Structure 1
Amino acid sequence: MSRGARWAAVVLVLAVAGVVALWPRTPDPEPSGSGPPPGRPAQDLGPLRERAALRPCPAGPAGQAGASGATGQGGPAVLRGVTARCLGDGSEVDAATALSGPAVVNFWATWCLPCQGELRVLDAYAREPGAVPVVTVLVESKEGDGLELLAKLGVRLPAVFSGEDAVREAVRPRPGMPVTFVVGADGALTEVTRYPVLTSVEQVREVVG
C-alpha cells in the first residue's frame, strides 16, 4: 500500500469515528421484570381475607398474653413475647396466646403438597363437636399466597403468619413440612411423630388423646 493510500485510510477511520461520536443516542430501556417503583403500596389483602373467610385467631392483643405467668394461661413458654400476624384480619397477636392449649398447632407452607391434604383433615376434625382448637402457622410463604390456597381448599382454620419465622424458630420443630404439635393445657408442646402426615380425622383424635 502506498503512503498516500495509508493516509487516506487513516482519514476515513477518523471520519467514521467522529460520526459515531456525534450520532444521537436513545436512553437504554429499563430491564424487563424490574420491581415496582419506590413508594408503591403493598398488595391489598382485604379481598383475599374476605374470600378466605378464616375463623378468628384465638388471641388477644400482642404482648399481653402470659403477663400473669399462670400455667395454662400464657400458652407455650417458648412463645411468650413472640408476635405474629393473624391471617384472617391482619391483626398482630401474641403467639403464646394464639397457640395456647389444649390445641393442635400445624406448620405448613403453600409449596408443600402433603400439607394441603393434612389441612383438609385438620379442618374436618375442628368441625367436630368437642374437638380441641386447631391453629395453623404459615411459613416460607407469602400471606397472599396462603390466603389464596386456603380459600381454594375451603379450609377456614385460624391461621397466623410470621414473616421472620419467629414462631417456628422458637418452637424448633424437626426439619421438613408439614409439622404438627399438640399443646397441652399446661402449655407443653408435644410434636406428632407417629404420623408424619395426618391423613384422617381418626388419627387426629388419636394424637390429641
Structure 2
Amino acid sequence: MSARARWAAVVLVLAVAGVVALWPRSSEPVGSGPVSTRQAPDVGLARERAALQPCASPPRDQDQQAAGDVGPAALRGLEVTCLGDGARVDAASALPGRAVVNFWATWCVPCQEELRVLDAYAREPGSVPVLTVLVDSKEGDGLELLAKLGVHLPSVHDPDDRLRKALSPPPRTPVTYVVGADGALSLVSDPLVLTTVEQVREVVG
C-alpha cells in the first residue's frame, strides 16, 4: 500500500470516529421498551359511562340470611367489588337463586362476544339473572370495555382471583357456570364459548 493510500485510510477512520462521537444518543437505557402514555381511566367516570345494573341483593328471609344459607356454598364469605357502584358484596349473596356466572378478562377476545350474547339473553323475558366476574384485569379497564360493548349486566371485580380459586375451573377464559336453585354450580363445557342466545337457553335448561 502506498503512503498516499495509508494516509487516506487514516483520514477515513478518523472521520468515522468523529461522526460516531457526535451522533445524538437516547437518554433511555438500552433494551427499554416504549413508554406507554395511556393514562389509567377515571374509575368514577368509567362507572357512570358503563351504567351497569346493580348487583343482586340477598333474599329478605332473615332466617336464611342468619344461617348463611344464601347462594353457592363454595362462594360464601368471599367478598368482591360490585363494578356498578364500587360496594363490597358477598359473592354468594349476589347469587341467591338460579343464575349464570361468567368469568372474563379485558384481554380475552372471545369474552367480548360472549358478554354481548349473555347481555342479550338477560334482556329476554323469563331469563335467569346473569352475573359477570372480571378477573386478571383492572377495574377501570373492565368498566371501559363494558361501556364500549354496550353490556350493562351486573358485574363484580375479583382482582385476587378468589372466586376462581374456590371453584377450580379449567385454565381458560371465558369460563361460565350455571347456578341451580339449590346453589349447586355446573360448569358449562359444551360449548366452551356461548355465541348465541339459543345456546345460553339450552345450558340454563
The two structures have a TM-score, normalised by structure 2, of: 0.76
Superposed CA deviations along residues 27-58 of structure 1, whole A, max 9, x for unmatched, are xx99996xxxxxxxx96411100000000001
- The question of 1:55 aligning with 2:50 is answered no
Q: Does the 8 Å contact 2:52/2:155 carry over to 1? A: yes
The number of residue pairs the alignment matches comes to 168
CA distance in 2 between partners of 1:112 and 1:96 (Å)? 25
Number of the residue aligned with 2:164 = 168
3-state DSSP class of the match of 2:92?
helix
Q: CA deviation at 1:141?
A: 0.2
CA distance in 1 between partners of 2:89 and 2:200 (Å)? 26
Amino acid at match of 2:54: P
Number of the residue aligned with 2:74 = 78
Q: Does the 8 Å contact 2:41/2:141 carry over to 1? A: no
Superposed CA deviations along residues 63-115 of structure 1, whole A, max 9, x for unmatched, are x9954244xxx111011110000001000000011133300000000000000
Amino acid at match of 2:49: R
Aligned-pair identity (%): 69
Q: Does the 8 Å contact 1:122/1:134 carry over to 2? A: yes
Select the structure of larger CA radius of gyration: 1
Q: CA deviation at 1:59?
A: 3.3
Number of the residue aligned with 2:122 = 126
Q: Does the 8 Å contact 2:132/2:154 carry over to 1? A: yes
The two structures have a TM-score, normalised by structure 1, of: 0.75
Of 109, 131, 135, the residue aligned with 2:131 is 135
| Long gaps (5+) in structure 2 | 1-26
| Long gaps (5+) in structure 1 | 1-28, 34-41
When residues 44 and 67 of structure 1 are mapped into structure 2, their CA distance, relative to the original with a 3 A threshold, is farther
